Amino acid sequence: MSSKSYSIASIPADGIGPEVVEAGITALNALADTLKTFKLEFTNYDWSSETYKKTGKYIPDGGLDSLKQHDAILFGAVGAPDVPDHISLWGLRLAICQPFQQYANVRPTKVFRGTQSPLRNCKTGDLDWVIIRENSEGEYAGQGGRSHTGKPWEVATETAIFSRVGVERIMRFAFEVAQKRPRKLLTVVTKSNAQRNGMVLWDEVAKAVAKDFPDVTVDKMLVDAMTTRMVLKPETIDTIVATNLHADILSDLAAALAGSIGIAPTSNLDPTRQNPSMFEPIHGSAFDITGKGIANPVATFWTAAEMLEWLGEADASKKLLTAVENVCEAGVLTADLGGKANTKEVTNAVVAEIKKLYG
Ligand SMILES: NC(=O)c1ccc[n+]([C@@H]2O[C@H](COP(=O)([O-])OP(=O)(O)OC[C@H]3O[C@@H](n4cnc5c(N)ncnc54)[C@H](O)[C@@H]3O)[C@@H](O)[C@H]2O)c1
């Protein structure tokens, strides 16, 4: 007996994006068919660097209006060797995130059962973090310009924007996430020693918002010191909030410390729910392994689980992640995690595990 039905837009885009999104949809369909508690309907959008090269646009006219009709977006990766990265990123991913006000980027990381951290002595449970990244302004606000292009006296500016509204909403969101986690511990990452305007506002707003969350323990850390703490004392960290640039970098480090960039998910959330939120693996198009069938689909499975939770299907979300961790624990792993399995073999193993556990 099926109950709720969700309309999902899939945008596989470039490189290994189509390979991992196909794997994600296969696992999600298997879960929906097995549990029978919800339905998913996918609409594919072929927006990619190929589309851009043919039409001059990543997103066709009216594209965002079509996207807005869906409950959520499952995204692969964007980036092609023959398109400058700033064109592809701003043409597709940021062209969705920014108008849809997906201001909260959520990046959980943990060491899965059956996988290994490159850190000596770091076991499953020792590293279990959520990084909250400001996703709408900061260093990636798109402010700046270039003059005297190509001349020896050329100048370029890249201006970081920190608005009180923007900082306050991400702080509130981060405190709420920290409050729901067992340790109720939030680290506010900053660089207010060197960046004495935007980052000082960031710190002040964090301090003010903290008053509304007396049960959350807060500490403040400079971003450079944070990298060493992540490596040397991973067990002292739980929830982290950081700017667009800082969290972008810290979350790749986090993914590597948890074992591989091939397992980490990202949610781009509009917490007001006025627009669909977008879910994607943290990794990019991975040109070096595109088309080889060896991309790790686990990041997309975890992404799919995050999407289910956001849609209100928390039980299905947990069940999907349990099946994925069981498969990792059974040693069905891609090369980035030290295994020999390919994308299809891992996907088939997850589908079989879903059927075995819940069928
Ligand atoms: N959100 C996005 O769409 C996004 C994110 C990051 C990079 N990019 C774009 O992707 C392109 C390549 O960027 P990059 O090389 O810096 O980062 P990348 O994440 O694509 O690859 C970095 C390394 O990690 C490996 N890797 C990544 N995902 C993997 C997976 N699922 N399984 C196994 N190995 C995996 C790659 O093979 C590569 O060696 C660029 O055009 C960049 O702009 C896009």
pLDDT at 123: 86
Greater model confidence, 22 or 259: 22
For ligand 1, whether the C-beta of 91 sits within 6 Å is no
pLDDT band at 124 (very low <50, low <70, confident <90, very high): confident
CA 267 to chain centre: 4
CA torsion sign for 318, 324, 330, 335 is negative
Tens of pLDDT along 220-246?
A: 999 999 999 999 999 999 999 999 999
* Ramachandran class of 114: left when φ > 0, alpha when ψ lies in -120 to 50, beta otherwise: left
pLDDT at 71: 98
> Which of 254, 354, 344, 258 shows the shortest CA–CA distance to 297?
344
The residue written with tokens 């990381």 in the block is 109
Would you say 202 and 193 are in contact if contact means Cβ atoms under 8 Å apart?
Answer: no
| Distance from residue 45's CA to the centre of ligand 1 (Å) | 21
| Distance from residue 285's CA to the centre of ligand 1 (Å) | 5
Residue 80 has pLDDT above 70, yes or no: yes
- In the DSSP assignment, the letter for residue 3 is -
Tens of pLDDT along 171-185?
A: 999 999 999 999 999
State the closest ligand 1 atom to the C-alpha of 289, by its place in the atom list counted from 1. 37
Which domains does the chain carry?
Answer: 1-103+263-358 (3.40.718.10), 117-258 (3.40.718.10)
What's the average model confidence in pLDDT over 346-358? 98
Tens of pLDDT along 243-291?
A: 999 999 999 999 999 999 999 999 999 999 999 999 999 999 999 999 9
Report the percent of the chain where pLDDT is more than 70: 99
Q: Which of 261, 283, 340, 344 to mutate to test the pocket of ligand 1 (most atoms within 8 A of CB)?
A: 283
pLDDT band at 355 (very low <50, low <70, confident <90, very high): very high
CA atoms within 13 A on the CB side of 216: 28
pTM, rounded to two decimals: 0.95
Residue 3 has pLDDT above 80, yes or no: no
pLDDT band at 73 (very low <50, low <70, confident <90, very high): very high
Packing angle, helices 314-329 and 17-35, rounded to 10 = 120
State the closest ligand 1 atom to the C-alpha of 298, by its place in the atom list counted from 1. 31
What's the average model confidence in pLDDT over 81-97? 96
What average pLDDT does the chain have? Answer: 96
